[in-house]
Amino acid sequence: MTAYVEDAGNHLIVWNGNAAKRGAITPEYYGAIADACARARDTRIRAIVISSLGDFFCAGGDLNALQERRSLSEEGRQQKIEILHDVIRSIRACEVPVIAAVKGGAAGAGVSIALACDFIVAAEGAKFTAAYVKAGLVPDGGLTASLARMIPRPLAMEMCVLARPVTAERMQALGAINAVCPNEHVMEHAFALVEAVAAGPRQAQGVIRAMVAKAYDQSEAAQLDLERDAMAHAAGADEAAEGIAAFLEKRAPRYTS
């Protein structure tokens, strides 16, 4: 089994088990991520963690498979790429925060998957490598969109045009990664994020995720309207009643959703 989903109570863990190939993408891995995002509709689930059983998060697509796809029509190749893009869409549309716990590093579509997540924890010295150009290819999986949102253009060009690896430390300095820690503590930091998320209001968090996603693509006027409508609805919801009462009573809120 090259990938599977572990139910850990208040969160799900997607394990990339293809350690023999540095976590290279398999159909099972795509399926596990999509399955976890679908299962997150259960209100018991507060977050998803994506990580690896081996010492590397994900090496991206298997070049042998890409070589075989050359025999397909361009439309056929598009359909194969859409499988990855559906996975990215499922992460973006997930009802709960998704956390990437990056051991060792990520390459190719592995970078796309990591950067599609809401939070990223990476091991010290982990490298993010968009090596597509070395094989005469170009990024997919929304990588250019993610990089444009998260890092300056010169560094994005360095990553994509020159295929230069960027360390987790440099990414963190730019605000693109939440935490960098020793490799053996990556999962511990990821689980700490899970608990921080779980202590908050689930419905409000889901709305915030959607609002932030839309903020990159629409006008300020449209975003103001979105925030007005979302805030007006949230202010009348049960989570706000509990959150405001807890603040006024100087106690920790007890959210039930």
Per-residue tokens: 197: 């998320």
Could you give phi then psi for residue 101, rounded to 5 degrees? Answer: -110, 95
Q: Which of 179, 177, 203 is nearest to 191 (CA)?
A: 179
Q: For 103-117, write each residue's pLDDT tens digit.
A: 999 999 999 999 999
Q: How far apart are CA 248 and CA 49, in angstroms?
A: 34
Per-residue tokens: 110: 């592995």
Q: Write the class of the CATH domain 3-198.
A: alpha beta
% of the chain with per-residue pLDDT over 70? 100
Output the pTM of the full model: 0.95
Q: How confident is the model at residue 257, as a pLDDT?
A: 67
Q: How confident is the model at residue 68, as a pLDDT?
A: 82
What residue type is 211 in one-letter code? M
Q: How far apart are CA 172 and CA 50, in angstroms?
A: 19
Q: How confident is the model at residue 237, as a pLDDT?
A: 96
Counting as low any pLDDT under 70, the low residues of the chain are: 257
Handedness of CA 138, 160, 186, 62 (dihedral sign): positive
Q: Which of 92, 98, 216, 111 is nearest to 156 (CA)?
A: 111
